[in-house]
Structure 1
Amino acid sequence: MQHPKGRQVAIIGAGPGGLVSARWLLQHGFEPILFEAGDRLGGQWNLCSAASATWPGMRTNTSRVMSAFSDLDHGIDVATYPRQDQMLAYLERYAARFDLLRCIRFGTRVERLEAAEGGCWRLRSRSAGRMREESFSQVIVATGAQAVPQLPDIPGMANFTGALGIAHTARYKGAEPYRGRSVLVAGCSISALEIASDLAFGGANVTAAYRRQRYIVPKLIAGVPAEHVLFHRAAALAGEALPAEALAEGLKAAVLRAGGAPDQFGAPAPDANVFAAGISQSQGFLPAVAEGRVTVRPWIDRIDGGTVRFTDGTVATPEAILFGTGYGLSVPWLAPDIARTLNYDGRGLDLHAHTFHPDLRGLAFVGLYNLVGPYLPVLELQARWIAYTLAGLTPMPSPTQMAQGLAACRAMRQRGQQPVLHDLAVSLARQIGVEPDLARWPELERALLFGPLSPVSFRLQGPDRLNDAPTRTLAVAQAFGAIRGPEFTPEELRLRSLIGSREAVVA
């Protein structure tokens, strides 16, 4: 077995989380080694990956501003919402720019990660049929949260006789095979609604079924990407200053202004409490319902051969059923004692700020959670946090902070609650000292409070600040019209006054 070298860090996975982790480790003098089972980087964005749930022509549900890292923008030829192939090309450009390809061991599958002597981690991997065992003092797990498609347990499902069968939406490869056929799409996730829309406008006869009606936000709100309007610093600060009831009412009002109520389009009415109902996103789903392209039903009670029976007594006879019912984690190579420490149950992990565990020193995690909002800005903040702690720029959280973080994580898991972009991003940025001090940036105050939480806005100050960050932060805030000038609107002034003066909201 090879013994650890002081500056080597093992990274499991060469998707976005693994790549950005390697970039920041290299920046601070470490030698990352990425273990990638496939023959190409990209994770979910690599169609050839067995774990990929993307399809040719698929578009992101987050804008090009928020589907990027702080050091590299998308090309000028990329539309507001990049395609799958453009995201893969972006990640390959990113890897080339920071010389990451030399760090990746392609075709290398991790078989086991366990504790070793001396506080190190023993990692066994297989490549070209040969097993290799190495020891590392630091390991980062960046295999992603959407690894194992999950199917519900519905009576009669195994005996469905529809001509096109049953599949998870992870296996969806486009609307063409379903043209002119009847399809049931089950689930109210973003992917389920987007695929239902894609099928409906692609000539299929579509029925959508789900357990509860969520509020549905369009991807664009008056031409502005939804995450630029809904996920910003002011929302994070309001969450710290206002009671839950006020937050719920404010969020509900914003969602209704953006996309209307589902029952206005002919879908069921959601729960009055927006947190109880939940929020999903789709540009075309509700219009497709209003136009009669999609029929909405409640959840499936049972399946009798080719007949699907819903909980309201109605029936359908689809030729295909696609389940957009989520994903589970897949870390089968974790030693049992590590899995127990993390309270791993196939769905989540107990971690402080989704990154560290106090009893697993030298082990860190990037991106193993389901996030409401764009991932890449948060992945980069996690990667910087890990790199900064290893480099001694940022202290590790104290035992008390870790204990509080684990308790908060467990409570969220018990509620079935997912972290939200603005809350997690601002929290991570504070941990590493890169959340901008609004008092230092009066000319950017409106852009920082009510513009998008762009990755470059976390390069204004602190370690690795960029000289052009102010200009770029303002440019991306103005790119789609979310912010057009420095003057606050009356509504923004009201929220600003609720969350405090400029001095009170300094991170």
Structure 2
Amino acid sequence: MAQRVAVIGAGPGGLISARWLLSQGFEPTVFEQAPILGGQWTGLRGISGVWPGMHTNTSRILTAFSDLAHGDERTFLPSDDVLAYLQRYAALFDVERRIRLSTKVTRIDRQGGQWVVEHGGDAEVFDKVVVASGRFRAPVLPEVPGLDTFTGSGGVATTFQFRGAERYRGRSVLVAGCAVSALEIASELAHSGAARVVVTQRRQRYVLPKFAAGVPSDHRIFTRYGTLAGEGLPPAEVDRQLREIVVEAGGSPEQYGAPDPGPSLFAAGVTLSQQYLPLVAEGRIAVRPWLRSVSGNEVAFGDGDTEPFDALVFGTGFALDIPFLSEDVARTLDVDAVHLDTDRHTFHPDLPGLAFVGMWDQSGGYFVPLELQARWIAYTWGGTIPAPDPSEQRGAIEAYRARRGMPQKTRMNLAALMFARAAGCEPDLDSWPELRRALLFGPLAPSCFRLGGPDALPGAADVFAREARAFGAIASNDMTPREQAYWSLLS
């Protein structure tokens, strides 16, 4: 009899997990608290931070799974198209009928060698559980003295609650944060009739346009070479190379009139946003130091200046929120608002039969690494690949714990290659000499992880070559002088 697996969440992570579990002979049941599948892409209040009219900041090719392409040829897709894609995917792989909608899981606990899942007053026993409930669903408001006294007519909200610029038309708005949601919302407000838009930030990040010189920026910076460089070169050299790529594509913020982020991209961070810096240069968005306090409708900034505002919008991150884990399980994982003790964000040796999908904080699109993580889980539980060694898992967890208190954001290419290696499907450069440049400096398209290993696909090489050439940057197998210079440092 096939083992039963409870999958918590019917967003991209839950759907791709169920698809690959099915391929390994498991019987997944997907629990979803919302009335429709899609997770963040539903746009439902309280469930999703996606607002009407929002477009992806990741390209079409990297916002897809390996066995279903988008029918749309636009580079950056509207959120409705992504939701429709997920619906098609669930139907194509027989996942749709296995989803229990409007079913909120309230507790997960272990019982002997099995797992008990409680929902709506009922309890069911499963052989295994995959938690794919989402990393970005509990927005955090920073502690700002007097914030609860704010009297502006537009109130205080988070970017997770933002549902369009209309309610802010004619108002002065302070947007707090420098991550993608804050910058995209500030840009939308400036374009949509807000009387004044000010961004307040703790530090200035580098800002990379979504599209530069005809190429999506996630094709430029989330490459396999970037992962190999991080493993084989001094951090300062990797920092220099990344900053060079970013500044060449979009300039440096101080050139637009924003603060200077400093010489280190690693220290400053980087955000994708197409319109933000040009709007700063035009004076339609002002940039201020971090807010120090609030009194009535007046906000005091770190430089001592004050300014009245009608509305405050905070894009200041999310807490890790997994409230349904039992006390015992949560204690074993040492869960807090930021950390979850797991081997490569997935397994814990003391919790066999439990896995997590998509619960790490990342820059860049999630679709590709989500699929690779789901394949790793399914292959491990299905016996396609050997299970991880418990002692190595404990070592990985100890290494993770040693980094607590340090920045936790992971670049998409690092996550993707980590999971691909674990799943046994990292493409071999020597096996594909005609694709060598594309595999190193081209996009980490999902098709490249079907070239070899378990579930290799006939025709994957043609698909990947076409996707690498889609925007003209990888039109031949001849490296550019800069690529040759970078590669020579590793070779």
Residue of structure 2 in register with 1:55 after alignment: 51
The answer as to 2:85 corresponding to 1:90 is yes
Q: What displacement does 1:360 show?
A: 0.8
Deviation at 1:485, TM superposition (A): 1.1
Aligned to 1:334: 325
Does the 8 A contact of 1:38 with 1:49 survive in 2? no
In the alignment, structure 1 residue 74 sits paired with structure 2 residue 87: no
1:485 and 2:476 aligned: yes
Letter in 2 for 1:263: E
Distance 1:195 1:482 in 2: 30
Report how far residue 413 of structure 1 moved.
3.6
Q: Is the 8 A contact 2:2 2:25 kept in 1?
A: no
Tell me which residue corresponds to 2:116. 122
- Distance, in Å, in 2 between the alignment partners of 1:315 and 1:222 is 40
Percent of pairs with identical residues: 51
Structure 2: which amino acid aligns with 1:183? V
1:399 is displaced (CA, Å) by 2.1
- Matched to 1:350, the amino acid is D
Q: Is the 8 A contact 2:18 2:95 kept in 1?
A: yes
Q: What is the RMSD of the two structures over their aligned residues, measured on CA atoms?
A: 1.1
Contact 2:361 2:408 in 1 (8 A): no
What's the offset of the Cα at 1:190?
0.6
Deviations 1:386-433 (A, max 9, x none): 100111011121123212321232244421221111112112111121
Report what 1:195 is aligned to: 185
> How far apart in 2 are the matches of 1:282 and 1:47?
21
Name the CA shift for 1:218/1:496 in 2 (closer, same or farther; >3 Å): same
Distance, in Å, in 1 between the alignment partners of 2:400 and 2:215 is 32
CA drift at 1:69 = 0.3
- Rounded to whole Å, the distance in 2 between the matches of 1:452 and 1:400 is 34
TM-score of the superposition, structure 2-length normalised? 0.98
SS of aligned partner of 1:34: strand
Unmatched runs of 5 consecutive residues or more in structure 2: none
Corresponding letter in the other structure for 1:155 = P
User: What is the identity, as a one-letter code, of the residue corresponding to 2:189?
Assistant: L
Q: Which letter maps to 2:77?
A: P
Structure 1 residues 419, 412: CA separation in 2 closer, same or farther (over 3 Å shift)?
Answer: farther
- 1-side partners of 2:249 and 2:69: how far apart? 27
**Does structure 1 conserve the Cα–Cα contact (< 8 Å) formed by 2:45 and 2:161?**
no
2:285 matches 1:294: yes
* Separation (CA, whole Å) in 1 of partners of 2:457 and 2:403: 35
**C-alpha distance in structure 2 between counterparts of 1:482 and 1:408, whole Å:** 37
SS of equivalent residue, structure 2 residue 104? strand
Q: Give 1:396's aligned amino acid.
A: A
Question: Are the equivalent residues in 1 in contact too, given 2:46–2:161 (CA < 8 A)?
Answer: no
- Aligned pairs for 1:174-193 within 5 A: 174-193=164-183
For residues 351 and 482 of structure 1, what CA distance do their matches in structure 2 show? 37
C-alpha distance after superposition, 1:443-471 (max 9, x if no partner) = 11111111000111000001111101000
Which of 437, 458, 470 does residue 467 from structure 1 map onto? 458
Matched, 1:65 2:56: no
**Which residue is 1:101 aligned to?**
96
The question of 1:143 aligning with 2:133 is answered yes
Structure 1 residue 53: deviation in Å?
Answer: 0.3
Partner residue of 1:24 out of 20, 24, 45: 20
Give me the whole-angstrom Cα distance separating, in 1, the residues matched to 2:227 and 2:463.
22
Residues in 2 aligned to 1:151 and 1:421: alpha-carbon distance in whole angstroms: 26
Q: Name the stretch that deviates more: 142-151 or 329-338.
A: 329-338
Secondary structure class of the residue paired with 1:236: helix
Matched pairs, number = 490
Task: Tell me the distance in 1 between the aligned counterparts of 2:179 and 2:465.
Answer: 32
Amino acid at match of 2:257: G
CA distance in 1, matches of 2:29, 2:338: 27
**Partner Cα separation in structure 2 for residue 135 and residue 71 of structure 1:** 32
Residue of 235, 255, 267 corresponding to 2:246: 255
Letter in 1 for 2:10: A
CA distance in 1, matches of 2:347, 2:262: 35
DSSP 3-state at the match of 1:208: strand
TM-score, normalisation: structure 1: 0.95
**Residue 276 of structure 2 corresponds to residue 273 of structure 1:** no
Distance 1:261 1:419, change over 3 A: same
Q: Which moved more, 1:36-45 or 1:248-257?
A: 248-257
Q: CA contact under 8 A between 1:25 and 1:387: conserved in structure 2?
A: yes
Aligned with 1:108: secondary structure? Answer: coil
Match of 1:165 in 2: 155
Look up the match of 1:503.
none
| Cα deviation 1:109-165 (Å, max 9, x = unaligned) | 101111112x11111111xxxx21111121000001001011011111111010110
Q: Which amino acid aligns with 2:21?
A: L
